[in-house]
């Protein structure tokens, strides 16, 4: 069935009525076996948004725990989903609430498995002090370390009992704190898989490589390009915001488009003579009346105006669907998008709906059996779908960690926004 904006163009036979889910099922707690995670296709890992576990650097996901978890997900054949709790909320709290399968980068308890959480074998140890806040008794204590490369404050959920008493809420541990992963008690098979994976990561040298990457260098400590230290994606954020917002777009959307096109490299030039951050070609720049599209300012002006132009080529449908069609036009040109819309209509799908409609039809245009039906030629529709969805997913990611508004003398808000998209929640 294709439903978009209340329009139904075709309906299959009615599906059988299923019994209402039980109260336990309504919690959506991930199932306990590895096979169930693989069937679900997603491994959800909880980790802190900080300078070592997980952060965005030049618009891309990085972090020691992130890369470890990403490799585990790859080996399991599933997609990694990262969730980061707000400051002051312990990873294990979210874990026992069923918000994820694994909590990565937690302090391994010396007291054995608890009633609700079990810990993996530790893969890191560090000398620390525990700092508690007497004036904020409900705030989790911090693990303070001076070890080079490690963040000044790590995270924990409580003060271990084996420590030397101190003053002003500061305690010194008699031995290094051990760091590992945690699962809920019933996930014994997943815990065994994690322990085997960490042993493999040590033997293969992966863990050493990641340790040196994140703990012995300062590559990711640039405050203007890492979300661990600032609300920035790149050094070009103010300029991106200036031209994006003037064109009526959330600048984080344009940043997601730029990442897909150039990885924030203003000097990139493609074999098809596309230039700059937004990979603008002369034909597109000419369409919107910009001649200096090969300069930094001109490139941003031309790219945002061209996306604005494309959005106006698709005036029908919901905002998010029009945006997806415009983004596919940014890659392929509007005429090829209209060809996909014609085929969608011919096959009984809503031509103005992206999700589960044009998105499904686009790859068919790589097959002569379909593109000849609408008097078209080969169109790389599969590439267009991957391109659009990658930008939309990255936009959603950026909205989690980067505010739309930030102090900048260069940022100009639009008088009449062309595009109003509800901010994704994550």
Query: Which residue numbers are catalytic?
Result: 261
Q: Is 96 exposed, middle or buried (0-12, 13-18, 19+ CB in 10 A)?
A: middle
Q: In the structure encoding, which two tokens stand for residue 207, read together?
A: 């863990």
- Helix extents (H) in 148-205: 188-204
Name the nearest CA neighbour of 285 among 306, 260, 266, 264: 306
Using DSSP, state whether 20 is helix, strand or coil.
Answer: coil
Residue 274: CB atoms within 10 A of its CB come to: 18
Looking at residue 54, what DSSP letter applies? B
216 forms bridges with which residues in the sheet?
none
User: Checking DSSP bridges between strand 177-184 and strand 102-107, what pairing results, if any?
Assistant: antiparallel
Q: 276: which residues sit within 8 A by CB, 6+ positions away?
A: 262, 266, 267, 268, 269, 293, 294, 295, 296, 299, 300, 303
- The CA distance from 136 to 155, in Å, is 15
Q: Over the range 166-204, which residues count as b (16 or more CB within 10 Å of their CB) and which as e?
A: eeeeebebeeebbbbbbbbeebeebbebbbebbeebeee
Distances (CA, A) of 413 to 10, 23, 238, 354, 416: 42, 46, 12, 28, 9
Chain-centre distance for alpha carbon 76: 19
The 10 Å Cβ neighbour count of residue 126 is 16
Structure tokens at 372: 């000849």
How far apart (Å, rounded) are the C-alpha atoms in residues 319 and 311?
Answer: 9
Tokens of 382: 């599969």
């Amino acid at each position: 069935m294709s439903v978009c904006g209340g329009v139904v163009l075709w309906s299959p036979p009615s599906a059988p009525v299923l019994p209402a889910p039980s109260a336990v099922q309504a919690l959506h707690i991930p199932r306990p076996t590895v096979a169930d995670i693989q069937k679900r296709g997603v491994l959800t890992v909880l980790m802190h948004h900080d300078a070592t576990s997980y952060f965005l650097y030049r618009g891309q996901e990085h972090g020691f725990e992130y890369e470890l978890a990403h490799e585990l997900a790859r080996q399991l054949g599933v997609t990694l989903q990262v969730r980061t709790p707000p400051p002051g909320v312990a990873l294990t709290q979210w874990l026992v609430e069923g918000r994820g399968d694994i909590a990565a980068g937690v302090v391994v308890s010396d007291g054995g498995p608890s009633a609700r959480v079990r810990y993996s074998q530790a893969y890191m140890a560090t000398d620390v002090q525990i700092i508690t806040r007497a004036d904020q008794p409900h705030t989790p204590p911090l693990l303070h370390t001076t070890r080079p490369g490690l963040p000044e404050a790590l995270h924990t959920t409580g003060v271990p009992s084996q420590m030397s008493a101190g003053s002003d809420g500061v305690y010194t541990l008699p031995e290094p704190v051990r760091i590992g992963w945690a699962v809920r008690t019933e996930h014994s098979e997943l815990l065994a898989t994690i322990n085997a994976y960490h042993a493999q990561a040590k033997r293969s040298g992966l863990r050493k490589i990641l340790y040196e990457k994140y703990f012995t260098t300062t590559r990711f400590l640039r405050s203007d390009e890492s979300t661990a230290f600032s609300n920035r994606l790149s050094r070009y954020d103010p300029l991106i915001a200036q031209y994006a917002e003037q064109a009526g777009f959330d600048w984080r959307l344009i940043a997601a488009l730029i990442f897909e096109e150039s990885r924030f490299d203003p000097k990139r030039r493609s074999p098809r003579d596309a230039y700059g951050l937004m990979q603008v070609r002369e034909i597109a720049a000419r369409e919107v009346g910009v001649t200096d599209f090969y300069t930094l300012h001109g490139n941003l002006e031309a790219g945002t105006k061209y996306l604005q132009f494309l959005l106006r080529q698709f005036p029908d449908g919901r905002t998010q669907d029009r945006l997806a069609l415009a983004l596919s036009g940014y890659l392929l040109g509007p005429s090829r998008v209209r060809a996909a819309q014609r085929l969608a209509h011919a096959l009984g799908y809503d031509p103005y709906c992206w999700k589960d409609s044009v998105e499904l039809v686009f790859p068919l245009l790589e097959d002569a059996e379909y593109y000849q039906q609408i008097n078209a030629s080969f169109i790389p529709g599969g590439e267009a779908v991957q391109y659009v969805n990658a930008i939309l997913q990255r936009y959603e990611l950026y909205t989690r960690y980067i505010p739309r508004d930030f102090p900048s003398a260069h940022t100009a808000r639009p008088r009449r926004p062309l595009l109003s998209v509800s901010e994704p929640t994550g």
